[in-house]
Chain A
Amino acid sequence: MEVVLVAVLPAVILTWGTTAWGTGPALALALALPVIHAVWSRAASVAPSPFLPFVVLGALATASVGWFALSPVWFAAKEALLPVGIGLIFAVSDAFGRPLIVPLFERLVELGPIRPGLTVDQNAKIDGALRTLGRMWGGAIALSGVASGVLALAIVHSEAGTEAFNLELGRHTAWSWGVITLPTTLVTMFLLLRTVRRVEAVVGRPLT
């Protein structure tokens, strides 16, 4: 569902819808889909997604590039800056001793009730594993941003607001899903599973 709403449909709309409905409507509809998905995810889940503001901000930034006919370089910059910004937030929160990864991880695995029963050393090992996860995940997100920016520079050349721009945007969306989003998702899953295994090793039993 996520893949369809965030990658496939926007790419199809930008590629085919531009000719059928015109540049503006196709761009608006394509960009609305990731936002609709993010809002729907938020409504369906108990806790709001911390990445929701970034999804909305990203869609608005892309729409601005199209509607205000800015240079396509701005689109590449936007593609790079948002994920790099998220990576920086991870790094800064870690440097200030309040790693963002801890509440994010605890959205998946509730550690609060487990922690008091563990020793201080075990808690420190869990915190260490979470910090490693945060650094690697933040790095992967930042790297995906740089890759997306480079891909945008390679694919999107036409003047924003034109039919050609929308077509290139569609190609970029399709390509970036395959060569950036999917690998980043796989890396994220690997890192999360590895961390869960490490925490389970510290706790001495499977996490439910």
Chain B
Amino acid sequence: MAARILLVDDETDLIEVLADALAARLPGFVIQRASSVADAEAAVASLDASGTELALVVSDHRLGDGDGLKFIASLRARHPGLPAILYTGQAGPEVVAAASAAGVRLLWKPIRLATWIAEVRAALEA
């Protein structure tokens, strides 16, 4: 079964753009969308149950029902070494420090689509 890239963002318009762009350029992966931490947790549980590989998680920092960085941290407790990208438009130095300490790539919005694709490719190849 094709490995998954999990996209987590509560702005569904943005996630559709990202998912379409990634699906067109990375045909070997299935793009899984989640609009909240709860959705993302359910998606991961389903992938784990089916034994499907999760190759990368890409998440917004501020989500309606939680914190993207905390979600990534909790996910990594179960999937050590899972590549992760966190993006945000606004975050304090504590978030920057925490992301850096956890080895999570932090991107600042606005982000060009080409940059997105390049960052995702780099994370998958790392």
Listed in ascending order, the chain A residues whose CB lies under 8 Å from chain B are 97, 115-124, 127-128
Contacts and interface: CB of A to CB of B under 8 A. Distances in A.
Nearest to B116: A120
B112 A119 contact: yes
A124 to B, nearest CB: 4
Given A121-B109, A124-B11, 4 more contacts: A115-B21, A118-B112, A120-B110, A121-B110
Contacts of B18: 120
A128 B13 contact: yes
Give the interface size class of chain B: 10 to 19
A122 B17 CA distance: 10
B101 interface: no
Residue among B18, B110, B112 having the largest count of chain A Cβ atoms under 10 Å: B112
Nearest to A127: B17
B13 A119 contact: no
B17 A124 contact: yes
B111 interface: yes
B16 interface: yes
13 contacts: A97-B16, A117-B112, A118-B112, A119-B112, A119-B113, A120-B14, A120-B109, A120-B110, A120-B113, A121-B109, A124-B16, A127-B16, A128-B13
